[in-house]
């Protein structure tokens, strides 16, 4: 059937081309004849008598003579009906070649030429209508919904395939129960929720949860992306919304899932088109369908977004999205559950410890953890191993955090030394700060955009940060630049990213967290502006210039204090700085255990009258070493005498 349709389309196309040639031939001839000279009878006779004419063609029916001069010039003229006898005698006398064209055109050809434009128009209409009816073309279906219905035959994702969001799963199970057994809730006077909005950071599993609902639900499930509503033509989006809900009503009870709803659900009146652009027409229709005069009975609308702050208020009100479920980044237990799910079907070595991986991946989303194990599997195949080991997983963690390793980048010995001292400064400052995260790895190997990197990993998940912790974070960030200044008496551009991060943290401490003693507990700088072209929010100063000056002073003060603290730590422990840098130059990479083995120091913090005192041990001499060995052999618990140094 498709082959027959293809031959029919080809035949119609050929007929259209032939017809077009016939129509265009006349104008083309006129265009070519634009360079032909028009003579009158006197000029023609003069040319013939002077012997300049080479040949002519006499058209008796149209009373036209076409000719060519001996120099190649073409000409044409019209003559009266009785003229051919006279001109033939003149042409014979001057030995000019001539032909006579009776132009006996059949009558049917004249009819075809007369009706050819009508035939061409009808052929074009038949051709396009035939194309529109084709299975691969949806030209007449602009207003049809593009929602895909999840059927029973498709592979299912259930709640067993989702981890780290137990509370969210319980909420969604309740939604499925509403649809399966509505009588249980109606007898108590409860109404079925109209809509469920899933929001959270990218990669946290919102779309996966919706797929799990589709797999668990025993009702029809329609899924569509927010961007699939909007088209170039006005009114198409609203038409697709109407068609989607019409199809849903025919299959109720059912679930409609709209992914990335912020594509059509942004605040109205924020774009160039005002209230009449295509996106806002689509949003208006969606609002009406969710809670208009036609009240939904057994249709639940689910939606997902990572920008709930830009959604229109009318969309978020009660009666449309009754449930708003936050899908957060998983905690350490959630990461363990997600890792177990993604390890299914993969050959995992015995040395792989899920709890260790979970502790080393704070801030990772479910998508990041899936990517982590996929990268580890790729590395395992590259190393020609049969099982994924802890080594490949560790390399994958570093690859995701710092970027791919660039072994081909050539770095001079001088720059390598600068990088080594820079990273050693970060590590040593973090080592001597009581609230800093433990060092996981230091390296001078290039990864991504960085020439070297220092990875610190928190021992447990934290949801609150104190002022002292943020201050120590600033100190650690500035440790690299302080190290360069101490060792080389100069600074480089390597601290650019560190300065950006430290300045941002200091500004947040002053303007957002109220951690400045001088400014006080205030939040300064309202976020507002036009939601347009992706620049959704811009900081609007709601304070005077004098306050702005004070803010700048406080930011500078925080950064200066942190920098001085880093300088003091590195100056005090210069021997340890040299030791770490030298080992980095030789070995290129140091992990946590190797760093602690190098330093072999203990640090304690004592609080007395709110004064922090750091305990520092003197470098161990040979005599002290012998005494320590003897004490160890006697299993004595008496520690060496420390030297106290007040900060």
Give the catalytic positions in this structure: 423
Alpha-carbon Rg for the chain, nearest whole angstrom, is: 42
Sheet holding 323-326, edge to edge: 148-150, 221-225, 254-259, 299-305, 195-199, 323-326
Task: Say what the alpha-carbon torsion angle 595, 596, 597, 600 is, to the nearest 10 degrees.
Answer: 130
How far apart CA 64 and CA 100 sit, in angstroms, is 11
Q: What is the Cα–Cα distance from 477 to 498, expressed in whole angstroms?
A: 5
Cβ 485 vs Cβ 571: under 8 Å? no
Phi-psi region of 63 (alpha: psi -120 to 50; beta: other; left: phi over 0): left
As a whole number of angstroms, the distance between CA 268 and CA 252 comes to 30
DSSP 3-state of 299: strand
Beta-sheet strands, E only, within 32-83: 37-38, 53-59, 64-69, 74-78
Residue 463 main-chain phi, psi, to 5 deg: -115, -10
Nearest-CA neighbor of 130 among 213, 282, 289, 15? 15
**CA atoms within a 13 Å half-sphere pointing along the CA-CB vector of 97:** 5
Check: CB of residue 402 under 8 Å from CB of residue 453. yes
CA 133, 134, 135, 139 torsion-angle sign: negative
Give the whole-angstrom CA distance, residue 567 versus residue 574.
Answer: 10
DSSP state of 432: T
Give me 25's structure tokens: 């031939």
Separation between Cα atoms, residue 269 and residue 274, nearest integer Å = 5
* N residues, the chain: 647
Backbone angles phi, psi at 519, to 5 degrees: -75, -35
Q: Which residues, including other chains, have CB under 8 Å from residue 166's CB and lie 6 or more apart?
A: none
The 3-state DSSP composition of the chain as helix, strand, coil percent (nearest 5) reads 50, 15, 35
Cross-strand bridge partners of residue 299: 254
Closest Cα to residue 264, out of 274, 277, 255? 277
Neighbours of 327 (CB within 10 A): 24
**Would you state the structure tokens that stand for residue 71, as one six-digit string?**
């120099």
DSSP states along 476-530: HHTHHHHHHHHHHSS--GGGHHHHHHHHHHHHHHHHTS---TTT-S---SEEE--
Nearest CA to 221 out of 212, 229, 230 is that of 212
* β-bridge pairing 74-78 and 64-69: antiparallel
Full DSSP string of 537-585:
-EEE--S-HHHHHHHHHHHHHHHHHHHHHHHHHHHHTHHHHHHHHHHHH
Question: How far, CA to CA in Å, does 189 sit from each of 185, 252, 625?
Answer: 7, 21, 80
* C-alpha span between 222 and 316 (Å, rounded): 21
């Amino acid at each position: 059937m498709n082959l027959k349709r293809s031959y029919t389309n080809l035949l119609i196309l050929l007929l259209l081309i032939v017809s077009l040639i016939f129509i265009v031939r006349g104008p083309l001839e006129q265009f070519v004849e634009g360079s032909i000279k028009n003579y009158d009878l006197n000029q023609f006779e003069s040319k013939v008598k002077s012997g300049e004419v080479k040949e002519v063609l006499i058209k008796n029916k149209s009373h036209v003579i076409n000719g060519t001069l001996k120099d190649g010039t073409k000409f044409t003229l019209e003559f009266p009906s009785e003229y051919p006898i006279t001109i033939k005698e003149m042409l014979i006398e001057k030995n000019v070649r001539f032909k006579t064209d009776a132009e006996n055109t059949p009558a049917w050809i004249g009819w075809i030429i007369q009706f050819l434009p009508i035939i061409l128009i009808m052929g074009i209409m038949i051709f396009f209508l035939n194309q529109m009816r084709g299975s691969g073309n949806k030209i007449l279906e602009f207003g049809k919904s593009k929602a895909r219905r999840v059927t029973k035959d498709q592979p299912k994702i259930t709640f067993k395939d989702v981890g780290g969001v137990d509370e969210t799963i319980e909420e969604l199970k309740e939604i499925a129960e509403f649809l399966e057994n509505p009588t249980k809730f109606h007898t108590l006077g409860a109404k079925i929720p109209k809509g469920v909005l899933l929001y959270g950071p990218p990669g946290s599993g919102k779309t996966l949860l919706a797929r799990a609902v589709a797999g668990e639900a025993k009702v029809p499930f329609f899924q569509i992306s927010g961007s699939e509503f909007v088209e170039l033509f006005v009114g198409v989006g609203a038409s697709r919304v109407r068609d989607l809900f019409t199809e849903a009503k025919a299959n109720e009870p059912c679930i409609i899932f709209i992914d990335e709803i912020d594509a059509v659900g942004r605040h109205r009146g924020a774009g160039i088109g005002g209230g009449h652009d295509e996106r806002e027409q689509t949003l208006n229709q969606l609002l009406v369908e969710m809670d208009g005069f036609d009240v939904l009975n057994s249709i639940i609308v689910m939606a997902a977004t990572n920008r709930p702050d830009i959604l229109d208020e009318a969309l978020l009100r009660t009666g449309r999205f009754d449930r708003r479920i936050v899908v957060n980044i998983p905690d350490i237990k959630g990461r363990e559950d997600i890792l177990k799910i993604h390890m299914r079907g993969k050959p995992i070595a015995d040395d792989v410890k899920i709890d260790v991986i979970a502790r080393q991946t704070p801030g990772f989303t479910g998508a990041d953890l899936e990517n982590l194990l996929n990268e580890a599997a790729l590395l395992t195949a590259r190393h020609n191993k049969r099982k994924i080991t802890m080594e490949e997983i560790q390399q994958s963690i570093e690859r995701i955090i710092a970027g791919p390793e660039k072994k081909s980048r050539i770095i001079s010995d001088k720059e390598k030394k600068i990088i080594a001292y820079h990273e050693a400064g970060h590590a040593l400052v973090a080592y001597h700060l009581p609230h800093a995260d433990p060092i996981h790895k230091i390296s001078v190997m290039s990864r991504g955009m960085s020439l070297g990197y220092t990875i610190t990993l928190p021992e447990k998940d934290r949801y609150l940060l104190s002022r002292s912790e943020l201050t120590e974070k600033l100190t650690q960030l500035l440790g690299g630049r302080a190290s360069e200044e101490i060792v080389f008496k100069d600074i480089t551009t390597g601290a650019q990213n560190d300065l950006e991060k430290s300045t941002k943290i200091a500004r947040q401490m002053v303007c957002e967290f109220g951690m400045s003693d001088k400014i006080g507990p205030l939040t300064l700088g309202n976020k507002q502006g036009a939601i347009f072209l992706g620049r959704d929010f811009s900081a609007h100063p709601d304070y005077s210039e004098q306050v702005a000056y004070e803010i700048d002073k406080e930011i500078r003060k925080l950064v200066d204090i942190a920098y001085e603290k880093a300088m003091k730590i590195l100056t005090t422990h210069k021997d340890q700085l040299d030791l770490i840098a030298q080992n980095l130059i030789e070995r290129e990479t140091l992990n946590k255990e190797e760093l602690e083995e190098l330093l072999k120091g203990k640090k304690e913090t004592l609080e007395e009258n709110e004064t922090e005192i750091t305990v520092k041990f003197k470098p161990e001499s040979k005599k002290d070493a012998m005494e320590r060995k003897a004490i160890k052999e006697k299993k004595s618990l008496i520690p060496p005498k420390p030297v106290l140094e007040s900060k």
